[in-house]
Structure 1
Amino acid sequence: MTAQIFRGDGQPHDWELPPAPPWRQFRGEPIVEHPYHDNWAQDHPNELERAHTYQAHSREIELVNASILLRRPLLVSGRPGTGKSALAYAIAHELKLSPVLRWPITSRSTLQDGLYRYDAIARLQDANLQTGQLPTSIGRYLQLGPLGAALLPYERPRVLLIDEIDKSDIDLPNDLLNVLEEGEFRIPELVRIADTDSEVDVGVEHASAPVRINHGTVRCRAFPIVVMTSNGERDFPPALLRRCIRLDITEPTHHQLEAIVRAHLGPRALDASTDIVNRFLQQRTLGEMATDQLLNAIFLSMHSDVTQTIDRRELADLILRHLNASD
C-alpha cells in the first residue's frame, strides 16, 4: 500500500511530501510563493461543494497516492457524470492546495494555450502611443496559463485539471509529453532578451500577483498533481500512457449512489427519493445516464409544486432521459 497522503475523507489535513524517485526530481528556483487569493474557496463555492461531496473509493485513493508518490499524471477515464473532474477538487481541498488550475480542452487547444499567452498586438499598440518605442517591460504582455502556472517552482505541488483531453486535436497529447516529462518549458520571448533582462515579472491566470521568471525558463520544484480526464472517446499514444497512472472510474453502485445523494442533499432527501433512485437505476440499464441527472431529478421533485397534471414520477422522468437518445 502506498503512503496515504490523500485519504479520500474530505477533511483537510497536514501532510509531508515523500521523496521523489531519483528520475523524477526537479530543482526549480527560486521558490515561488502562493500567488492566489487566500479566500479562493469562499469566492468559488461550487468548487468547494464538489470537493466536499466527492465520494472517493479505495482504488481511487490508492492510485491518487501512487500518482503523487511517483510524480506522474493521473489519467482518469469514465463516462460523463461519474465524477472525474470532481476528483481534482477533492484532492486540492483535502491537501490544502486550492485553487485547482483548470485547463478545459477543446479541439482548438494547443500546448501554448496551456503554457502562456503573449499579447504582441497590445504591445505594438502601446509602442505606437509611445512614439514607436517598445514598452520597457515585456512581462506585462505575458500571462502564464494553467499548465504554465502549475510548473512554477512551488515548495508544494499545485493541482492541475486538464479536462476532457480526448476532445483535443490529435497532436496535443504528443505535444504534452516533453513538458510533463521534463517539468519545465521555455518562453522564447524572454529567452531572446535574457542577456539584458534576465528577470521578468509576468502575470499568472487568476492570480493576485505576478511571478518572476529567470532567463526565460519555467522549471518546477514540486511536480504538480496532474489530473487528466477522458470520456473514453479516443485512444492515446503509448508514449503518453506509459507516463501516466491510469484510473478508470465506473458507474456508481446503488450503495454509492445513496452515499452521493446523502452527501449532496442530506439524509432526508434520500429517504424521500427511494423511488427516483430506483427509477434511475432502471433507466441506466437501458442506456447512458449521468449521476448529476439523478441529483437534479431529486432536487426538482423536492422543490417543485406538483400539480394534478404531472406527478412526481413524471417530473423525474423529464430529467432522467438517456444521454445517447435522440428523442
Structure 2
Amino acid sequence: MTWSPYYTGDGIPRDVQLAPPPPWRTFPRRPMAKEFQPPAGLVESVNAALHLRRPLLVTGPAGSGKSTVVEQVASELKLGSVLRWHITSRSTLNDALYRYDALGRIHAQRLGQAGGVDDIAPFMQLGPLGTALLPAQQPRALLIDEVDKSDLDLPSDLLDVLERGEYEIPELARYQDDTVCVRQWGGEEYHAIERGRVRCTQFPFIVMTSNGERDFPAAFLRRCIRYTMPPPTAPLLRQMIMAHLQIDSEEHGTVRDLVEEFVARLDGGDSLAIDQLLNAVHVMSGIAAPGDNRRQNVVDLIMRELSRA
C-alpha cells in the first residue's frame, strides 16, 4: 500500500500506521548505485576521467542522476564512502580544504581547559576536498555538487589545488609541533599532517555537477572531462522504473501512461525531474492508489512543472 488518506482535515486525533516509503526515501539514506542506469557515453567519460586523473564535470537538469554517478563508481571500484561538498554562493575553497575554530581555541586557552598545553588539533578538521587529497593507497571519491551555484571566483580558485594535488594549512605550518593529527571529514579517523602540508599520492575521483545555469572559464573546462546528460527517453525511463521499483511499465497500463505523459511534457518544453516520475509511479502503482476522481489531481501535484512556483 502506498497511498492512504492519513490526514482528513477533520481535526480528530487518530492512530495511523504509515506505509513503507519509496526506496529512495528510506533513512539512513542508502546508495543507489545498483539502481542507476548510466546513459550512453557516460561510461566512457568516467573511464577517461579515471585514466587521465581529471575531474568529471556532469551537466544536466535536476533529478537526472548526476550525483548518483559518483556513488556507482565508488561502489564498483571499492573507493570507500563518497565525500560530499555541496556548493552554495557562500562556499569557499578554504572551507572545502579545512575548518579551523580559532575562537574556540582562544576560549579554551582562556579557560585553561588544556591544562596549560596549547593543542590546536581539537579545533581543526579537514574538509571534504582536503580529505580527498590525503595520501592514500586508493583514490577517494568526491562529489562537488552544483558547482554552478558557486561564487564566480571559486572555479578558478580550484584550478591550482586540482592541478598540483596539494595544499598548505598555514595555521599548522606556523605551529610549534611539526606533526599534528587532524580529524578527517565525515568520520572519526585522523591523519598526521607534517608541517602543515598535504600532498596526495592518488588523485581523487572527482565528479562535479552542474545544472547548466552558468558558463565556466575555459581554463577550468580544459582541465575537466565533460559530459552532458541526454534528455530522458521512454526506454531509459522504463529501465529506471524497473531498477528502482521492479515494475514493468509495458505490463502496467497506468505506469505506461505516466511515462508517455512525462516524455510528452518534456518534449513540449516543461521542466520536470526524473524523480518526480518515480514518485508518481510509486503512488499510482500501489494497491491503494487514488481512485479515478482523484488520480489526475495527485499526478498533477507530484509532477508539477519546476520552472514555476
TM-score normalised to structure 2 length:
0.86
Which residue of the partner structure matches residue 318 of structure 1?
Answer: 301
Structure with the greater alpha carbon radius of gyration: 2
Summarize the Cα distance change of 1:283–1:296 in structure 2 as closer, same or farther, 3 Å threshold.
same
Unaligned runs of 5+ in 1: 1-42
Unaligned runs of 5+ in 2: 1-25
The answer to whether structure 1 residue 229 and structure 2 residue 213 are counterparts is no
Alpha-carbon shift at residue 317 of structure 1 (Å): 2.4
Which residue of the partner structure matches residue 105 of structure 2?
Answer: 123
SS at match of 1:212: strand
From 173, 188, 196, give the equivalent of 1:216.
Answer: 196
Alpha-carbon shift at residue 126 of structure 1 (Å): 0.8
Which residue of the partner structure matches residue 3 of structure 2?
Answer: none
SS at match of 1:46: coil
Number of residue pairs matched by the alignment: 280
Alpha-carbon shift at residue 271 of structure 1 (Å): 3.0
Distance in 1, matches of 2:129 and 2:113, equals 36
Maintained 8 Å contact 1:76/1:249: yes
Distance in 1, matches of 2:131 and 2:116, equals 26
Question: Per-residue displacement from partner, 1:161-183 (whole Å, max 9, x unpaired)?
Answer: 00000000001001100000000
Distance in 2, matches of 1:277 and 1:162, equals 31
- Identify the range of structure 1 (71-80 vs 125-134) with the bigger mean alpha-carbon deviation: 125-134
Which residue of the partner structure matches residue 279 of structure 2?
Answer: 296
Distance in 2, matches of 1:239 and 1:124, equals 41
Distance in 2, matches of 1:208 and 1:261, equals 37
Distance in 2, matches of 1:214 and 1:315, equals 58
SS at match of 1:128: helix
From 73, 82, 87, give the equivalent of 2:69.
Answer: 87
Give, as a single letter, the amino acid of the residue that structure 2 aligns with 1:233. Answer: E
From 33, 39, 49, give the equivalent of 1:67.
Answer: 49
Alpha-carbon shift at residue 321 of structure 1 (Å): 2.0
Alpha-carbon shift at residue 185 of structure 1 (Å): 0.3
Distance in 2, matches of 1:163 and 1:91, equals 16
From 233, 240, 253, give the equivalent of 1:253.
Answer: 233
TM-score normalised to structure 1 length:
0.81
Maintained 8 Å contact 2:250/2:256: yes
The answer to whether structure 1 residue 104 and structure 2 residue 65 are counterparts is no
Summarize the Cα distance change of 1:136–1:318 in structure 2 as closer, same or farther, 3 Å threshold.
same
Give, as a single letter, the amino acid of the residue that structure 2 aligns with 1:298. Answer: V
What percent of counterpart residues are identical?
47
The answer to whether structure 1 residue 278 and structure 2 residue 260 are counterparts is yes
From 118, 137, 157, give the equivalent of 1:175.
Answer: 157
Give, as a single letter, the amino acid of the residue that structure 2 aligns with 1:288. Answer: S
Give, as a single letter, the amino acid of the residue that structure 2 aligns with 1:299. Answer: H
Alpha-carbon shift at residue 285 of structure 1 (Å): 1.7
Alpha-carbon shift at residue 132 of structure 1 (Å): 9.7
Question: Per-residue displacement from partner, 1:290-324 (whole Å, max 9, x unpaired)?
Answer: 1101000011113344246413x442222122211
Maintained 8 Å contact 1:269/1:298: no
Summarize the Cα distance change of 1:136–1:68 in structure 2 as closer, same or farther, 3 Å threshold.
same
SS at match of 2:298: helix
Distance in 2, matches of 1:78 and 1:222, equals 28
From 215, 219, 224, give the equivalent of 1:239.
Answer: 219
